[in-house]
Each structure stands twice: as C-alpha cells, then as structure tokens.
Amino acid sequence: MNPYERYVLPKMIDIACGMGDVMKARSAIVPQATGEVLEIGIGTGLNLQFYDSAKVTSIVGVDPAAQMQTLGRKRAAAISIPVDMVAVDLQGIHAEADRFDTIVMTFTLCSIIEPVPALEEMARVLKPGGRLLFCEHGLAPDASVERWQHRLTPLWKPLAGGCHLNRNIPELIRAGGFVIEELHKEYLPGPRPMTYVYSGWAHQAG
C-alpha cells in the first residue's frame, strides 16, 4: 500500500462521503435497520450516528481497507450500540448463513472489485425475511452523463479507491440474488457523473 492510499485517501473519502447531501441520503436509509446488522464497507463509520439504538442490537462492520477504521473505531465508541469492526474481503464474510437481520450498504458497491460475488455472500448471511438497505451512486439515466461516466471512470478509479462511476446498481443487486422491493433514484447536488443515487431495500430472491 502506498502512502497516498494509507494516509491521504482515507481522509479524502471521509470528507467526500461526509458532505451534507450525502449524509442526508445516509440518514434516510440507515435508521431503517433492525436487529443484528452487518454494514458493508463501514470505512470511517459515517453511518454509525444514524442507527437507532432502540431497534438495533449490534453492528458488525466489514471493510477490506483496515486503514479506514481508525476513525471508524472512534465513532463506534461514541454510540451505545456494540460495534465490531473487521477488515476482511467482502467476498468472504466470515459469518454463518442466515445470521443478520439487516445488511446496510451505502456508497460502497462502486468500489467492490467483484460486486456480484460480494452480493451473493451478503444474500448468504442475511436471514430469510431480512432486508438489504442500500444507498449507492451509479449509472445515470441521461445519455450525455452516462458517456462522461464511462470516460471518467478509468481516471477516477485510482484516485478514489477503486470507485466506478458507471455501475448499474439495480442490475448488480438483482444479479447478486436479491429482489428489489423499493427503489428511489435521484441526482444529488454536485457534478452529475458522480451524484446519481439509487436507494431502497431488497430481500433475497427465491
């Protein structure tokens, strides 16, 4: 890992992903979580303030980027819900099948190297009847914006921790073994190639 990835990138991601409209989008999704929660890509713990301690019993936060978790652990210590933060490959979540009541995934799917296997693993550890709550930026519906997303992604990825601007979020979630029950789509304020957001919830297929 180079110095940029170890020291600079975590701070940049924390600032970018902690901007007002992004945090507002998080705040609309995260409080819906209940029971034992698995948060995918917990990073610096920006979502932790939004969990409802009356509804959530514990949180397991996984993220392959261990360098992101220093700040995350400080934020975890500031809430009353027990939080266990683990640095693991998201394609191999070390948990038994059907364990979690809720999975939370916000602004994370864009940077997972192999998103479909990771989603299949999420489906494996989610309880029957449990919910995947998601809020993710991705492929825009406007052709001109989409073209820019495809042009910019190869340049953007190494600067933004592997982030893809052009992923079709609903398509990936369905391919990973989920049925989307609620889906909202909108541009957040900011550069359009970076700010088209999909949010909602899904359950396991079948």
Q: Which pTM was predicted?
A: 0.93
pLDDT at 85: 92
Domains of the chain: 3-204 (3.40.50.150)
**Quick one: pLDDT at residue 29?**
98
Dump pLDDT digits (tens) for 141-195. 999 999 999 999 999 999 888 999 999 999 999 999 999 999 999 999 999 999 9
Structure confidence at residue 82 as a pLDDT band (50, 70, 90)? very high
What pLDDT sits at residue 30? 98
What Rg do the C-alpha atoms of the chain give, in angstroms?
16
Query: Which amino acid makes up residue 94?
Result: H
* Strand order, beta sheet including 178-187: 83-86, 56-62, 35-40, 100-106, 126-137, 196-204, 178-187
What does the pLDDT read at residue 20? 87
